[in-house]
Amino acid sequence: MLQIEYRKVWCGHCGGVRVEPLEFVDTHQRATHRLAAYAAQLCRAGLSVTAVADHLDLDPKTVKAIDKAALETEFGKTDYAGLRRLAIDEIAVRKGHSYMTVVLDYDVVWMGEGRQIATLDEFFRNRPPTVRNAIAAVAIDMWEPYIQCVNHWCKNADIVFDLFHVVKAFNKIIDDIRNEEFRVREAAGRATLKGSKYLFLKNWGNLHNKQRVQLDDILAINARLNTVYWLKDLLAHLWTDQRVGWARATLAQWCDVARQDGHPALVRFARTLKR
């Protein structure tokens, strides 16, 4: 226990109280700077908040507040230096559609509360024009507000749709079409399709032998599902083509097959992808 005497000053003008600052502890804090630094160091070493609290005989809420303050000091200020290629995405921080927007440049550059266009505007607005104009490319999902925001703030940047988000969007279409086929099929066809959702969502290499046999049986009797599964495989080739001409030919082939099938969801996706 430390017993410290320090001065308080009452202001006759405003009626407030001013307390003499102490070099080793902040006002209203229950832990000294040295203890807080030690607790933060233990958290950085991989110990849980509960483990650190037990070790130091502190309340877990106190340790959590110390760790949060240390993280804010170390990572709270955005570093705009040398930004050339960005990636933008969001993460869920809790249930109930509560998100944070994340901007990355091989490492996390900035995070902002929520998933609205105003969140991303805040990131770009705080950057000088020289930094914004130096951005050469931004990888995002296919959300239209992201597209508009990047076009508005980064005039010289190419927009890149990454493979993960495009395939994720197409997987939703595959599952919708699979459900449609299940509803219109007779009993024998339904039995084959039952429980096949993840057969279409997983990559072929991640299926075990029994799953591959079931998928082959489905594709053999259902022309439309055979088409969408082939389109999913071809979609990934857009990111492996080494030349622009090859990628353009792959895209044209993909869109032609989708339009020939004629399913409204495939036609819409082909239009979006080509745009």
pLDDT in tens, 202-225: 877 788 888 888 888 888 888 888
Q: What pTM was estimated for this model as a whole?
A: 0.58
Asked if residue 112 lies in contact with residue 100, where contact means CB atoms within 8 angstroms, the answer is: yes
pLDDT in tens, 28-50: 777 889 999 999 999 999 899 99
How far is residue 21's CA from residue 23's CA, in Å, rounded to a whole number?
7
Asked if residue 38 lies in contact with residue 45, where contact means CB atoms within 8 angstroms, the answer is: no
Tally the C-alpha atoms within 13 A of residue 70's C-alpha that lie toward its C-beta: 18
Poorest-pLDDT segment among 43-57, 81-95, 121-135, 236-250:
81-95
- H or E element at residue 161: strand 158-161
Residues 6+ apart with CB under 8 A from 132: 124, 153, 154, 155
| Residue 106 pLDDT exceeds 80 | no
Cα-Cα-Cα-Cα dihedral sign, residues 16, 19, 20, 24: negative
